[in-house]
Chains A and B, each alone.
Chain A
Amino acid sequence: MKRVAICAVAQHEIKANIWDKRFQDMLLDILEDLQGETGFVFGGENGVKNIVTCSDDFFDARTISDNAVNDVVGAANYRGEQKMAQEGLNGIGYAMSVILSGHDDVIYLAGHCKESLSASRNQIANMAYDPFYCRCLGLDYLNTAGLQARAYMEKTKITQEQLAKVVVRARQWASRNTYANEKTQLNLGDVMYSSVLCDPIRSLHAYPVSDGAVVMLLASEERAFEFTDNPIWITGFGNCMDSYFMGRRDIASSSALKKAAEQAYQMAGIKKPRKSVNLVEAMDCYAYQQPMWLEGLGLCDEGKGGCFIDEHGPAKYNVNLSGGMLAGRPLMIGGLYGVAEAVLQLKGQANEHQAADVNCAVIQSTTGGAGQFQTVVVLER
C-alpha cells in the first residue's frame, strides 16, 4: 500500500473558555501558522482542492456546523469539503482514504470544538441516547463512565492512589506543553480527596471543559516533500463500533478498542505492539480510562492496569506526554490533538516535553458512552 504523510500540524492553545475568539478566528489563526510552515496554498494546479473538517452540530449549536467554517478552511471558493461528524481522529483515516483512492493528493484537515459554548456538555451527551428509554434515564458520557469505572475497579482492583498517580502525572507533563489547558500541579491527596463527581469518578479524575482547534496538512508520498523535509507517515488506521446497550457489553473490557487496534496494527505491519510502539496518546477523559485503554491497545495485560501504573508503564511507553485529555482537550477533537502531539514528538519538535528516540506512535480516541466507539491510528517517522 502507498503511504500517506502528515506534513505538518498547527494547534490552537487549549483553554477552558476562549471567550475572545469565535471558532472561525481560532481556525484562521492556526491555518496561517500552518501555511507559514509549509507554504501550501489553496486552489490552482497544485494547491489544496479538498478539505476535511471535524466539528459537531450540537457543540456548535448549528445545523451543518461545517458551513460555519467553509470560509476559514479554504473551501469557500469552489473547493470540496466534507465533515467528519465523529471524533476527529476518524478524519485522519478518511483523509488517508481520499489520498489512497487517487481522488486527490493533498488534503487540508481542520477540527474545532468549543465546549464552553454549551451550558453543559453532559446535556449534549444525554442527547446521544435514544429518546424512548435511555435519554429519560438521564444517561450521559459522565454517568456511563461512572458505571464503567466501577466495573473496571472491581475487576482490576485498581486503587484510588493508582488513579491519582495518573492525574498527577498528566498535570506534570501538561506543565511543559504550551498548548495544554489545565496545568495546575497536584499531589496524590488532592486527587484522592477531591469531591465525588459521579461515583466513583472524582472531580479531578475528569477532563476539564476545553476549547480548541487543530489543523494539519496531509499529502501523498509523491508530494509530501513539497511541504516538509520531515513527513510523518500514517501507517495504520482502524475503528470499531460496539453495542449501544451497556448491558450487552463487558464494560470492564473494550472489545471495540481491541478490534480497532488489531486493524491498525495489521495495516502497519505491527505484530508485537509492545516492542514496536514507543509513544502513546490515549483519550483518557477520566483517569480510569488511561490504564483501561492501554489494556485495549495491547500494551498492558488485561486487568493489570493498576500494577502497570505502579511499574511505570506509562513512562515506558511515553503515554500522554502532552498531558492528554486529563489536562483538557475538547471532546470532539481529543484524538486530533493526540495526532498533533505525536507528529511533533516524531519530528523531534515537542520542545520541553520531547521524548527521546521515538519512532512509532499510537493514538487512540473514543466517542459515545463508556467507549462505545473506538479509533486507533499508528504514525511512524
Chain B
Amino acid sequence: MTKKKNRNVGIVGIGMTEISSHKEDQNQPEMINEAVRAALADAGITLKDIDCVVHGNMELFEMVHQPDLWHMIGTGALGKPEFRITTGGTTGMTLVAASDNLVASGMYDVVMAIGFNKLQEAGSTTGGITNMADALWYRHLQTGALTSTSANLSIEEFGEERARKAAMKHRIMMDKHASLNQRAHRRFGLEYNQMEDLMKNSPQLIGDLRLIHMCSQSDGACVMILASEEKAKRMSKKPVWIRDHIAVHREETASNAYFPLLSETSQRVAARKLFARNGITNPVEYFDVFEMYDPSAWWGIEWLREFFLLEGDEAIKMVENGDWDLDGKVPVNPSGGVTASNPISATAMLKPAEVALQIRRDAGTHQLKREVRHGLASGFGGVMWTELMMLEKDLNWQEV
C-alpha cells in the first residue's frame, strides 16, 4: 500500500526554453538561466525564496565535469544548498522525484529542479549513448538508442502491415500535436495521407526503425519549482500536486530484450505497482492526460499497452481508433512528445511539466479542451529504466 508522505508537495513554478536543434546564441548557463527566470516568474517569486537547487544532466554529452559548479552562474545556486542527481534519459523525472522527496522530507520548503542538455555540443547523441555500454563486452555492439527490437516484436505479434501502420499513425499524431506546441523542436506538418509514403521512403536506421520514427537531438532546459503544501498554497493560485512516483530499473545489459529473463517490462511493473498502491484500477478511465517519454514511435505503441496495463491488441486498437488523440479517451503527449523534442535530461522533466500546465490550463496553443484533473507522466532511460509520476489538480486523493 502507499506510504503516507511526510507532507504534500505542490508544483508552483514551471519554466522551459524553446527546444531547438541549435542554440548557438546561448551557452549552457545562459540557456539554463532562461528557464530559471521563466520558472521564477511563473511562480511569482525570486531566487531569495528558493531554499535548494537540484541540477542534473548527462555530463559527457557536453563534456563538462561536475557542470553544476560552472552553471551556478545561471542556476542561482550561489550561497544555497545544492544537489546534483542524475540517472539516464530519466534524469529529468529523477530530478522532480528527488525534489519531491527533498521537500516532503521537511529539509527544504522550496526546491528548484533544473534539467537540461545541449546536445548540439555533443556532436552525436548516438555516440554519447553508445559510450554508456560496457567497454569490454557491449560497447562495440551498441548503436546508441537505435534499435529495431521493438519494431520486430510488434511485427511478429500484429503482422507487418498492422504494426507498421500503427507506428506511423502514432508518429503522425505526435507531429500533429507538436504542430500546436510553439516550443516543440520538430514540427513537420505531417498528414495521415503521407503514411504509406513515409513507411516506404523515410530513411531506414536499423531494420524497421526509420528516421521519421526516431526522436530528435535537441537543445533545451526545463525548470520546475516545488514547494511544501503550506507554501504552495500561499505562493500559487493553482499548485499542481505530486501524488506519487516510482522508479523501476533493470539490469545493465539489454540482453533481456532478446532473451527475456524477466517476464515484465519496467513500464508495466512501474504502472502495476504505482496504480496498485494508489488504488487505480482502470487507468484508461482515471487519467485525463498522459505525457509519455516515447523515444521512437515503435516504443510509443508498445509502451501504451504496458503503461495502461492493457492486453493483446487493445492498445493498438486504441491507436487505430484515435483513442490516444487530443479528443480521445486518454490524450497522449499533447506537447508532441519526444519524437518532436528531446533535450535528453530536460525531456523527462518536460513530461510532468506539460501535465502540470495542462492541469492548470496554461498550456496555451496546445491546451486540451477537456478538464484535466488526473495526469500521468513517464520517463525512460538507462537500459529500459522507467520512472512514472502521478499528478493531481486537487489535493483530495487521501479521501479516495
Contact = CB atoms under 8 A, between A and B. Distances in A.
B8 to A, nearest CB: 11
A71 B252 contact: yes
A255 B79 CA distance: 8
Contact of A84 (B80, B83, B106, B135): B83
Interface string B218-254: 0000000000000000000000000000111111100
Given A71-B252, A367-B69, A63 B80 contact: no
A70 B249 contact: yes
A332 B68 CA distance: 15
A132 B72 contact: no
Contacts of B64: 127-128, 130-131
B396 interface: no
Interface residues of A, number: 68
A79 interface: yes
Contacts of A80: 246-249
A124 interface: yes
B88 interface: yes
Contact of A243 (B5, B27, B72, B104): B72
Interface stretch (A54-62, A180-188, A292-300): A54-62
B262 A84 contact: no
Interface in B70-124: 70, 72-73, 77-88, 94, 97-98, 100-107
Contact of B382 (A67, A127, A242): A67
Interface in B282-330: none
A244 B132 contact: no
Nearest to A125: B65
B66 A102 contact: no
A63 B135 contact: no
A66 interface: yes
Contacts of B381: 64
B249 A81 contact: yes
A188 to B, nearest CB: 35
B166 interface: no
A194 to B, nearest CB: 28
Given A78-B262, A131-B64, A64 B132 contact: yes
A318 interface: no
A104 B64 CA distance: 33
Interface stretch (A91-99, A165-173, A301-309, A344-352): A91-99
A128 B132 contact: no
B128 interface: yes
Q: Interface range on chain B: under 10, 10 to 19, 20 to 34, or 35 or more?
A: 35 or more
Contacts of A79: 247-249
A67 B247 CA distance: 14
A356 B61 CA distance: 49
B107 A237 contact: yes
Given A97-B105, A101-B100, A127-B64, A240 B81 contact: yes
A131 B132 CA distance: 23
B104 A62 contact: no
Nearest to A123: B65
B228 to A, nearest CB: 11
Contacts of B21: none
B247 A124 contact: no
Nearest to B86: A85
Nearest to B383: A67
A81 B85 contact: no
B191 interface: no
Contact of A240 (B65, B79, B135): B79
A84 B56 CA distance: 10
A373 B67 CA distance: 12
Interface in A76-123: 76-86, 90, 93-94, 96-105
B80 to A, nearest CB: 6
B81 A238 contact: yes
A132 B62 CA distance: 13
A241 interface: yes
B131 interface: yes
Given A97-B105, A240-B79, A241-B77, A368 B248 contact: no
Given A70-B382, A103-B3, A243-B78, A78 B248 contact: yes
Contacts of A93: 83, 107
Contacts of A104: 3
A278 interface: no
Contact of A90 (B5, B83, B87, B94): B83
B365 interface: no
A98 B101 contact: yes
A100 B6 contact: yes
Contacts of A103: 3, 5, 100-101, 104
A103 B5 CA distance: 6
Contacts of B247: 50, 79-82
A179 interface: no
Contacts of B66: 56, 85-86, 128, 367-368
A81 B60 CA distance: 20
Interface string B113-148: 000000000000000110110110000000000000
B333 interface: no
A102 B60 contact: no
A368 B84 CA distance: 13
Contacts of B18: none
B4 interface: yes
A62 B65 contact: no
B2 to A, nearest CB: 10
Contact of A64 (B70, B87, B107, B250): B87
Interface string B258-269: 000010101001
B63 interface: yes
Nearest to B103: A101
A96 B59 contact: no
Contacts of A61: 131, 135
| Among all A-B residue pairs, the 10 with the closest Cβ atoms | A80-B247, A101-B104, A100-B105, A76-B251, A97-B105, A127-B65, A128-B65, A64-B88, A63-B132, A241-B77
Interface of A: 1, 50, 56-58, 61-64, 66-71, 75-86, 90, 93-94, 96-105, 124-125, 127-132, 237-245, 255-256, 259-260, 263, 267, 367-369, 372-373
12 contacts: A56-B65, A66-B86, A67-B252, A70-B383, A76-B249, A83-B85, A85-B86, A103-B104, A130-B70, A239-B82, A241-B77, A242-B79
